[in-house]
Amino acid sequence: MARAGVTVDRLTLAAAELADQVGVEHVTVAALARHFGVKDASLYFHLKNAQELRVRIALLALAELADRVAAALAGRSGKDALVAFADAYRDYARRHPGRYAAMQIDLDPETAATSAGPRHAEMTRAILRGYRLDEPDQTDAVRMMHSTFHGFVSLERTGGFRHHPRTADASWSRALDALDAVLRNWPRPSDDTP
């Protein structure tokens, strides 16, 4: 019997593409097996279980996103860098909804550490160099940036902005303006804030 030539990498890539088409929750071992013209049981030679497949999609997505963000950031600084980062992030999430959704699964600590996550965090911090923030403000700012990006993209994807004529693109631009403004003038803690 001719071998199909299945490898973990080919499996992961096919799974990621399937996820973008039908959603991560519908990425199934059986569907992948059909795609490769192979019985589903055979894939368990390459995978521990179905969950591993989703983790691998997440790791692929994290790496791809980090690459695009890095490319977008090259040679930019200040608000220019902020916008480039944000647009690359949103663009990736829109082009690859399944991959992006997979990124949200809870990775166990050691897997997360070896992922492109830390690289991603490092690049976010790099943007803030243009805004001259010290710790712990820098960490707080990184978290707020990431929250805004992820929140916006996530709400946009689930249709949260559909019930109003204002385009998501316009609101996105203004959110970045606002983010830039507040980063340039990061407020001191309020009285009741530690």
Partner DNA sequence: GGGAGTAGCCTAGCTCTCCTAGGCAAACGG
Partner DNA sequence: CCGTTTGCCTAGGAGAGCTAGGCTACTCCC
The footprint of a copy of itself (CB under 8 A) covers 25, 79, 104-107, 109, 112-113, 117-118, 121, 136-137, 139-141, 143-144, 146-152, 154-155, 158-164, 166, 168, 170-171, 173-175, 177-182, 185-187, 189-190, 192-194
Both structure tokens of 52: 């591993």
Minimum distance, C-beta of residue 159 to DNA, in the bound complex (Å): 22
User: Is 126 a binder of DNA (CB under 7 A)?
Assistant: no
Minimum distance, C-beta of residue 105 to DNA, in the bound complex (Å): 14
User: Is 13 a binder of DNA (CB under 7 A)?
Assistant: no
Question: Between 71 and 105, whose beta carbon lies closer to a copy of itself?
Answer: 105
In sequence order, which residues have a C-beta less than 8 Å from that of residue 16 and are 6 or more positions away?
57, 60, 61, 96, 98, 99, 102
Using alpha carbons only, give the angle 74, 134, 183 rounded to the nearest 5 degrees: 60
Could you identify the residue written with the tokens 């960490």? Answer: 139
Site string for DNA, 44-83 (x = CB under 7 A): xxx--xxx--------------------------------
Q: What is the four-CA torsion angle of 67, 73, 79, 84, rounded to 10 degrees?
A: -50
In sequence order, which residues have a C-beta less than 8 Å from that of residue 175 and are 6 or more positions away?
148, 152
Minimum distance, C-beta of residue 58 to a copy of itself, in the bound complex (Å): 10
Which of residues 13, 14, 31, 123 is near DNA by CB under 7 A? 31
Residues that bind DNA (rule: CB under 7 A) add up to a total of: 23
CA distance 116 to 60: 9
In degrees and rounded to multiples of 5, residue 47 shows phi and psi of -125, 150
The residue ranges of DSSP E strands in 13-168, in sequence order, are none
Residue ranges that bind DNA, judged by CB under 7 A = 1-7, 28-31, 37-42, 44-46, 49-51
